[in-house]
Structure 1
Amino acid sequence: MLRPADSRIRTKLYVAYAGAFLVIFLVAGGIIHAQVRDMLRRNIETELDRTTEALRTLVRSSVDVSIRNYMRAVAEKCLDEARSLHRQVRRGRLTEAEAKDRARRAFLSMTIGRTGRVYCLDSQGIMVVHHKRSLVGVDMSGMAFVREQIRRRQGYMTYEWKEPLEAETRPKAVYMTYFEPWDWIISASAYREEFGQLVNMEDFRQRFFELRSGESGYPFVLDYSGYLLLHPYLLGVHYNDYDSPGLRTTAERIVAERNGHFDYMWRNPGETALKKKVVYFKDIPELGWVVASSSYYEDFQKPLDTIGYVMLTALAVAVLLMIPVSFGIGALITRPIATLQESFSRAADGDFSVRMEQHSRDELGLMAGYFNAFMERLTAYSNDLENEIAHRRETERELIAMDRTKTMFLASASHELRTPLTSIIGFLHLMEKNFRTRFLPVLGPLDPVGRQARTFEKNLAVVRVEADRLGRLVNDLLDLSKIEAGRMEWRENILSVDLVLQRAGEASASLAEDRPGVRLVVEPLTEPMGILADADRVHQVLINLLSNAFKNTEAGSVTLSAVRTGAGATFSVRDTGRGISEDEREKIFDLFYQGRDENNRSTQVLGTGLGLSICRRIVAHYGSRLEVDSVVGEGSCFRFTIPFGEREL
């Protein structure tokens, strides 16, 4: 037989609260009478606030659509005029110059609001029609919004504009149409602050009054000067013309504050008594309007009064019943939970041997069983984790030792190889020079030994080139080992960026000679700059990037430049070569990685795969990052930033 102690907790709670809830259900509102009253008022005020925001959004969107349609009509009217004049040109009735002149006069005669005008640009950004003659023929393509107009040619857009004598920019809107035969972008523009003068209120009047709060509430719109633009009873009336001083005070406060809410007394037309209302209002600065939403307090006062009578009657009974019931149910639940809490506390302190006794088969009894099973598994996991940690620590020590051995080997091998290799390269250069200057002149052009000598000269050049390449590889390995071991020497000095660019350009002149179809461009600085860096390391990075650019460029140009960005000088090397695919843009910085050549030119651009990795690590020393942007088939751009010195040159 099921004991009461074995019953489910929900059954215990149901039995304990069933009788009390039958009474409380009838008088439940009494306990929270005051809270409900405040809550309902807050809800009404929140609804009014949201309604006001919705009204402001509706007005803004409606005005924007209305103005967009108005400006579109003006722009399309101008387009129709241009088409009409162009037809007369094709029929021989007008010359094209006469037609364009008439179009200009027609466009300039049109106004949009107080200061709105029509102007025309061509696809190069040249102003062809403007009411200010000083701007006609001027190249406006340097302005961002003009470039956007050239790109889009048609449609609606907004931008910021400042007249020559004004201190700040103001938002402006333009609608564009494009007349292709004359390459004219016909633009109807106006300041957004003048939109209020161009709007037809009837376009959104019905939708505006559909958004209301309560049964008797309604919205309205005032402008900053105090005229009612939208109101169910008063329209086009200034607050000075109201027949009530109190109403004038209300309107003056709304116009003065523009955003907020307050209570006031109001009497609708045809009524005799003043009634209390609340109004929420927000302004639309670009139009000079204030949108407001109001509602009478009586809309929510009556249901509150009804609830209040019931809640006051039930208050005393609910308090008396809830106290003993709460204590009884709490005792049944809290004792097992306290035991569970103590067990969890011991487990949290590291005692995984703690277990709980199961006194019942209810939820708390099942929880005790789950807790014991959890502790068993946690103990097993803890042992496994300790073993895994010990194994990983041992593996980590082995890997660190292997990495240290590898670094020492690279440093030692590179250093030992560089000395004899330097001698070999020097003797190869000397042999090549002596062979060319002393031996070949002795042989006449008809000497049979001359052909073999020229073959020997070519082979000697191949050996010399490969020896140079091997020397670069050894130097790269030595630099890499120094960087990884933290033993790289940095000779920081204040450097002139102009001299850094000049030195790199001169050192890369031979690369340009080897690529007749590729032009080396060193862009001059717009202003002097000085950086704090190791001259040899910065030069090493630039030469490596320039060398890679020439290797990967068959025709076009390789450009070296530097610009001021933030607290440093940003260097960039751009080429018009084969580009780098998106999946390789990070791999090329990995050690020994050589990029794929989609055009099978691998033999021409073969490298060691160390240069870019070393360059990125050098740049990282200065708190920067070597990055690349590239488009396959169009070229690549590598850039990095070196911080300025304490004083710039």
Structure 2
Amino acid sequence: MNPFDLIKNFPIRYKLLFIYSSCFFVIMTLSSLIIFSIVKQNVQANIESELKNSTTAIHNTIKTAVSVSIKNRLRGVAEKNYEIIQRLYDHAHQGEISETEAKNRATDIILSQSIGISGYICILDGHGRVLKHPKKSLEGLDISDHRFVQEMIAIKNGYIEYEWQNPGDAYPRPKALYLTYFKPWNWMITVSSYRKEFLKLVDIDDFKEGILNLKFGKTGYSYVMDTKGNVIIHPELTGINVFTDKRFSGQFFREMLDKKNGKLEYAWKNPGETRYREKLVFFNYIPEYDWVVASSSYLDEIRSPLYAIKQIIILVGMAALVIFIPITVFLSDTITKPLHSLMEKFKEDIAGGFSNRSVEMESSDEVGQLAFYYNSFMDRLATYDRELLSEISER
């Protein structure tokens, strides 16, 4: 049987209730889906933007912190050696030792030091000629044609980043130096290190706390690791290698470290937790240090506002339906009650003959007009009835 045929035979009240309720349900469902979809996209976009911006900020913070740390480290070494040279100069000036011996002692002390793995200290004169260098083949060379040396000559004291190729090196490598100028001997003391070795000079504690203090949602966090799987900074896993630690499969980390920049969704369980939870992570690569900086958050925490919104939509829909049904019943009664009254009048007229029974007009709408036409029709029938009876009696 066609369901519409069944509905067609329903009383008007139930037809109206069914039609209005169906329309209400469809409209509420579509509206809720649209609102929920828009809110979901906005919440997701806002969280992703926060994670992305935080990762970028951490990336820049680390680069700045490392740069400042290196600068301070090189400056500290340069200033310490300046103090040593100053003391030896004072001894020579006071006649305790000769100036030649003072310079030799200063040179021995300077060349005995190393900075990081292969960084070093060397001495140039104020015109850019190499006086003392760990590579003896460079001593005596005029390197003032190099731009960074010209900058050294100009500033005499300060920090410079440049590229340098020592004898035996296959290609120039990025370096940084801090120089101080000892005017009595016309010496520029330069303390330099290769950028790839900067991390050996960095105190990670300088920026570790700032990274660990970042939170996303209730328990989301940021972390740093290198491309070999060593965890540099993490709330729980600092110091481990995710590729050798048997607690982790390493698959997600391999994908992230191979990709180096971007975002991923993955399942994760911290030590001490009982179940895996889905996470979203944004990550950036710092090539100078071979580090990957990541910011992550759990998807259930990201979407928690959506669950609240979903419940609100359901409650509002149910409340609206509770209000809507009585209103629909009331409206249907304004139609069906006059119709029922009219039907009763018809039944009485059919059973008892035509009489001057009239239906009270309670409104001027279609139902009221129907009552008016009924009254007019019954008046006409009553008139015809009287006239017919009159004619019969006359015969």
User: TM-score w.r.t. structure 2 length?
Assistant: 0.69
Which of 134, 156, 159 does residue 159 from structure 2 map onto? Answer: 156
| Contact preservation (8 Å) 1:51, 1:212 | no
Is the 8 Å Cα contact of residues 208 and 233 (structure 2) preserved in structure 1? Answer: yes
Does structure 2 conserve the Cα–Cα contact (< 8 Å) formed by 1:262 and 1:278?
yes
Residue from 173, 191, 196 that aligns with 1:193: 196
Aligned counterpart, 1:259: 261
Correspondence list, 1:574-613, <5 A: none
How far 1:267 sits from its partner (Å)?
1.1
Cα distance in 1 for residues equivalent to 2:72 and 2:49:
34
Kindly provide the CA deviation profile for residues 484-530 of structure 1, in whole angstroms up to 9, marking residues without a partner as x.
xxxxxxxxxxxxxxxxxxxxxxxxxxxxxxxxxxxxxxxxxxxxxxx
Partner of 1:286: 288
Residue 172 of structure 2 aligns with which residue? 169
- The letter for the 2-side match of 1:201 is I
For residue 602 of structure 1, what is the aligned residue in structure 2? none
Alignment of 1:336-485 (within 5 A): none
- 1:99 aligned residue (97, 102, 105): 102
The Cα of 1:30 is off from its aligned counterpart by 5.6
Alpha-carbon separation, structure 2, partners of 1:301 and 1:288: 33
AA of the residue aligned to 1:118: I
Q: Which residue of 1 aligns with 2:270?
A: 268
Asked if residue 55 in structure 1 is aligned to residue 42 in structure 2, the reply is no
**What CA deviation, in whole Å up to 9, does each residue of 1:559-579 have, x standing for no partner?**
xxxxxxxxxxxxxxxxxxxxx
| In 2: Cα distance, 1:68 partner to 1:208 partner | 21
Please state if 1:244 is matched with 2:244.
no
In 2, are the aligned partners of 1:33 and 1:312 still within 8 Å (CA)?
no
Structure 2 residue 142 is matched with structure 1 residue 139:
yes
| Cα 1:244–1:258 shift into 2, 3 Å | same
Give the superposition deviation at 1:39: 2.1
d(CA) in 2 for partners of 1:199, 1:123: 30
**1:200 match: secondary structure:** coil
2:38 matched residue in structure 1: 35
How many residues end up aligned between the 2 structures? 292
Please state how far the C-alpha of 1:119 moved relative to its aligned partner: 0.9
Alignment of 1:88-127 (within 5 A): 88-127=91-130
In the TM superposition, 1:543-558 aligns within 5 A as none
Whole-angstrom distance in 2 between the partners of 1:135 and 1:167: 17
Q: 1:382 matched to which residue of 2?
A: none
In structure 2, stretches of 5+ residues that fail to align are 1-26, 321-395
Deviations 1:352-387 (A, max 9, x none): xxxxxxxxxxxxxxxxxxxxxxxxxxxxxxxxxxxx
Secondary structure of 2:145 counterpart: coil
Structure 1 Cα separation of the partners of residues 111 and 259 of structure 2 = 40
TM-aligned CA deviation for residue 165 of structure 1: 4.5
Match of 2:218 in 1: 215
Find the residue that maps to 1:204 and give its secondary structure: helix
| Structure-1 residue corresponding to 2:12 | none
Indicate if the aligned counterparts of 2:256 and 2:264 stay in contact, CA closer than 8 A.
Answer: no
Alpha-carbon separation, structure 2, partners of 1:312 and 1:167: 69
2: CA distance, partners of 1:129 / 1:212: 51
C-alpha distance in structure 1 between counterparts of 2:49 and 2:289, whole Å: 25
Does the Cα contact within 8 Å between 1:227 and 1:239 map onto a contact in 2? yes
Root-mean-square deviation over aligned CA pairs: 2.4
**Cα distance in 2 between the residues matched to 1:303 and 1:103:** 67
Counterpart Cα distance in 2 of 1:307 and 1:120: 69
Give the secondary structure class of the aligned counterpart of 1:56: helix
1:369-425, Cα deviation, whole Å (9 max, x unpaired): xxxxxxxxxxxxxxxxxxxxxxxxxxxxxxxxxxxxxxxxxxxxxxxxxxxxxxxxx
Alpha-carbon shift at residue 277 of structure 1 (Å): 0.8
Deviation at 1:164, TM superposition (A): 4.2
- 1:306 alignment counterpart: 308
CA apart distance, 1:166:
4.3
- The correspondence for 1:82, drawn from 82, 85, 88, is 85
Tell me, yes or no, if the aligned pair for 1:121 and 1:129 is still in contact at 8 Å: yes
Q: Could you give the per-residue CA deviations for residues 91-141 of structure 1, whole angstroms, max 9, x where no partner exists?
A: 212111111111111111111111111011111111111111111111111
Letter in 2 for 1:249: Q
The alpha-carbon deviation at position 200 of structure 1 amounts to: 1.1
Q: C-alpha offsets along residues 178-220 of structure 1, whole Å, 9 cap, x if unaligned?
A: 1111111111001111111211111222112123322211111
User: How far is 1:56 from its partner?
Assistant: 0.8
Is 1:180 the equivalent of 2:174?
A: no
TM-fit CA distance, 1:150:
0.4
d(CA) in 2 for partners of 1:30 and 1:274? 29
Instruction: Say if 1:255 and 1:30 are closer, same or farther in 2 by CA, change over 3 A.
Output: closer
Counterpart Cα distance in 1 of 2:156 and 2:96: 29
Q: Aligned with 2:115: secondary structure?
A: coil
User: Residue 240 of structure 1: SS of its match in structure 2?
Assistant: coil
Deviations, residues 142-182 of structure 1 (Å, cap 9, x unaligned): 11110000000101111122344445433211111111111
Amino acid at match of 2:280: V
User: For residue 137 of structure 1, what is the amino acid of its counterpart?
Assistant: G
Q: Give the distance between the partners of 1:30 and 1:83, measured in 2 at CA.
A: 78
Residue of structure 1 equivalent to 2:229: 226
- Give the aligned partner of residue 279 of structure 2: 277
Indicate conservation of the 8 Å contact 1:157/1:174, yes or no.
Answer: yes
Q: Percent identity?
A: 39
After TM superposition, give the deviation of residue 294 of structure 1 in Å: 0.9
TM-score, normalised to structure 1, is: 0.43
Instruction: Compare CA radii of gyration and give the structure with the larger one.
Output: 2
**In structure 2, C-alpha distance between the alignment counterparts of 1:163 and 1:36, rounded to whole Å:** 59
Gaps of 5+ in 1: 1-23, 319-649
**Structure 2 counterpart of 1:299, which letter?**
E
Change in CA separation of 1:163 and 1:138 when aligned onto 2, cut-off 3 Å: closer
Q: Is this contact kept in 2: 1:29–1:310, CA < 8 A?
A: no
- One-letter code of the match for 2:127? Q
Q: Does the 8 Å contact 1:30/1:314 carry over to 2?
A: no
CA–CA separation in structure 2 for the residues paired with 1:45 and 1:168: 41
Rounded to whole Å, the distance in 1 between the matches of 2:171 and 2:141 is 23
